[in-house]
Amino acid sequence: MKKILIFSTAYLPMVGGAEIAVKELTDRIVGYEFDLITSRLDRKLPIFERLGGVNVYRVGFGNKFDKFLLPLFGLWRSIRLDRVKHYQIIFSLLASQASIAAALFKIIQPDKKLVLNLQEGDEEEHLKRYALGNDLLYRIFIRPWHLLVFKKADLVVALSGYLKNRALANGVKCQVEVVPNGVDVKKFKVENLKFKIKELKDKLNIKESDKVIITISRLVKKNGVGDLIEAVRYLPANVKLIIIGGGELESSCKLKISHLKLADRVIMLGAMNNGVVPEYLAIADVFVRPSLSEGQGISFLEAMAAGVPVVATPVGGIVDFLHDGQTGLFCEVNNSQSIAEKVKIYLANRELTEKIKTQARELIIKKYDWGLISERMKNIFNELTS
């Protein structure tokens, strides 16, 4: 059996779109054995465990600084594992701390094929935080390490055309393939969840006359959740907002809700297991995430698969699948009134809403089902190891 070693800065139970993508792919691709090296980050997490189709090896001391030790600890673990496993492919999830370990391992083992999977939602400027925001320090101490995996990759797999262009701008000489993340279409079929809708609405104190906006977002600046909260001010009193997700801006979001006197209209539920997301999408009338930047965004695709019309900004990889007036509606970046205007269109124009819902779900089934995506990735692996 062919073997692939994955490097990821974080992994389940730390949930993000990239981590979900790895699980979905490794659960579906047969004929390969997958090992994954990641930061431990939490002492409660085991050093080794089997999660789905992946053997997970965690390195570090179980704290938030483990990701900074990952380049060295990850390289050390990869060398030890390779003595037994003899990997054919090195797979770097994102260009992050883990990618440094992947690139160093490639330097030591040049015959192995290195695949860089670009899934970043943040702009690269975001990396300057590791250099205290100083441009010179960033270019001297951070950027060379960030670019190492681009220089050593044998293939780049980018989520979107936007990320493909980023790879080319970073000087990759290898082939760049665009392979998006996908959705488990059956899981997000709302008809399967009808019996839970009333129960969930009662639990959240949502009346039958209420309209529900939902966002599933990490509470970070790039996802524009603050703009969405402000947009509620410009919407009718029967419109409520559900926010699923946690992050560094949780406290500031709560303060904004209190300051705007929206406590009875905005429901913050915190981070949740991805398995319950379909239930909450089933009670939603509109999905909104007014991102400042986005590599692709699985949450958008999940909403579309569930038949929930989407409002988004025309940034990053979103433009690959969301076409204004066809599979969703675009609002302006950093404009809460624009968000509200687009939501009002959905609430007022049933014919347009139904058309968009139908076309969006058809697009997901045709191009973004995980079965199709995993087959593409398996073909890529086969070509690399043939």
What is the rounded end-to-end Cα distance, in angstroms, of the chain? 13
The pLDDT, as a whole number, for residue 15 is 67
Mean pLDDT score, 152-171:
96
Cα separation of 295 and 223, whole Å? 12
208 and 172: one domain?
A: no
How many domains does the chain divide into?
A: 2
205 and 131: one domain?
A: no
Cα separation of 198 and 212, whole Å? 13
For 152, the domain range is 2-182+369-385
Q: What Cα–Cα distance (Å) separates residue 314 from each residue in 165, 222, 289, 319?
A: 16, 13, 11, 6
Could you read off the pLDDT of 338-368 as tens digits, one per residue? 999 999 999 999 999 999 999 999 999 999 9
3-state helix, strand, coil in the chain (%, to 5): 50, 20, 35
324 and 379: one domain?
A: no
CA nearest 120: which of 145, 157, 148, 66?
157
Taking CB atoms within 8 Å and a gap of at least 24, the contacts of 166-169 are 166/118, 166/120, 166/124, 167/116, 167/118
> How is 155-179 classified by DSSP, letter by letter?
EEEESSHHHHHHHHHTT--SEEEE-
Reading the block at residue 24, the tokens are 């979905």
138 DSSP assignment: I
31 and 172: one domain?
A: yes
Could you read off the pLDDT of 316-345 as tens digits, one per residue? 999 999 999 999 999 999 999 999 999 999
Task: Provide the pairing of β-strand 211-216 with 175-178.
Answer: unpaired
Could you read off the pLDDT of 53-99 as tens digits, one per residue? 999 999 999 999 999 999 999 999 999 999 999 999 999 999 999 99
357 and 217: one domain?
A: yes
CA nearest 126: which of 74, 166, 174, 175?
166
> For residues 297 and 70, which has the higher predicted lDDT (pLDDT)?
70
143 and 26: one domain?
A: yes
Reading the block at residue 290, the tokens are 């007014």
Contact call for residues 130 and 142 (beta carbons, < 8 A): yes
Neighbours of 207 (CB within 10 A): 9
223 and 250: one domain?
A: yes
The pLDDT, as a whole number, for residue 276 is 87
Triad 33, 36, 297: Cα angle to 5°: 105
Dihedral over Cα of 49, 55, 61, 64: its sign: negative
The pLDDT, as a whole number, for residue 195 is 59
Mean pLDDT score, 283-290:
97
Contact call for residues 193 and 279 (beta carbons, < 8 A): yes
228 and 116: one domain?
A: no
Q: What pTM did the predictor assign?
A: 0.89
Mean pLDDT score, 29-40:
97
67 and 178: one domain?
A: yes
246 and 327: one domain?
A: yes
378 and 362: one domain?
A: no
> For residues 139 and 341, which has the higher predicted lDDT (pLDDT)?
341
23 and 134: one domain?
A: yes
Q: What is the CATH number of the domain that holds 299?
A: 3.40.50.2000
Could you read off the pLDDT of 175-194 as tens digits, one per residue? 999 999 999 988 887 665 56
**Phi and psi torsions of 162, nearest 5°:** -60, -45
Mean pLDDT, the chain, rounded, equals: 94
Residue whose entry in the numeric block shows the structure tokens 């950093």: 334
The length of the chain is: 386
* Three-class secondary structure of residue 182 per DSSP: coil
